[in-house]
Copies of this chain bind each other. A is one copy, B any other.
Amino acid sequence: MSSGSTPDLDIAVDPGRRMSSDERRQQILVAALAVFGTRGYDGATTDEVARAAGVSQPYVVRLFGSKENLFLATIEEALARLLTAFREATVDADAETIGKRVGQAYVDLLSVRGLHQTLANAYLMGSHPVIGPAARRGFAAVWRFFRDDMGLDADRAREFLAEGMLISTMIGLRLVDDYGSDPEITELFRSCFPTDLPHILDVVPRGTDRW
């Protein structure tokens, strides 16, 4: 049951309702993004995911088979949303605006709690025998999008990747939380994102996801 210690991660729509397996899976995946994003793979518990989704812990395991499988499914979900958003950003965009559009899409995805952080966590698990390969495939898929669908040259693609990693890092660090209170963090953040910052501050939920 969903109750108690982490109310801010609770995303259950209608806790008691009986729903289709697919609906539940989707709901659990959204919860998993938030939990894995905050705690990382090993730090997250299937119980916390379950509570965030408003179901019981054994049911989460039942639906996905194992914690490892749940994480794999969560990565897939994150990548699917990412690439879909990117693709949508490229329609009706000329070579002039396409970069800004896709960058914007990346920042907009910050509103999906834990999406970037979950991917960032996966990217750090390269030496895991099953998660590692999946993470590499996912990363390669994003790169392929930059190269093939966006038609970027190697240099621009690298810049895109690098910029994305920097944004992810600053989000994972939760620099946002100290923005405005700690003068140095404020300056660091400002100087790194002279243009995007207002939008980031607008779209990122601050002070939530607390440990």
Contact = CB atoms under 8 A, between A and B. Distances in A.
Contacts of A161: 166, 192
Nearest to A190: B154
A192 B173 CA distance: 25
A192 B158 contact: yes
Interface string A89-132: 00000000000000000000000000001001101111111001
A140 interface: yes
B38 A40 contact: no
Interface string A15-43: 00000000000000000000000111111
The A contact surface, by secondary structure, is helix
A154 B192 contact: yes
A191 B126 contact: no
A166 B173 contact: no
A149 interface: no
A135 to B, nearest CB: 6
Interface string A122-155: 0111111100100110011001100100000010
Given A140-B184, A143-B188, A162-B165, A129 B175 contact: no
Nearest to A147: B191
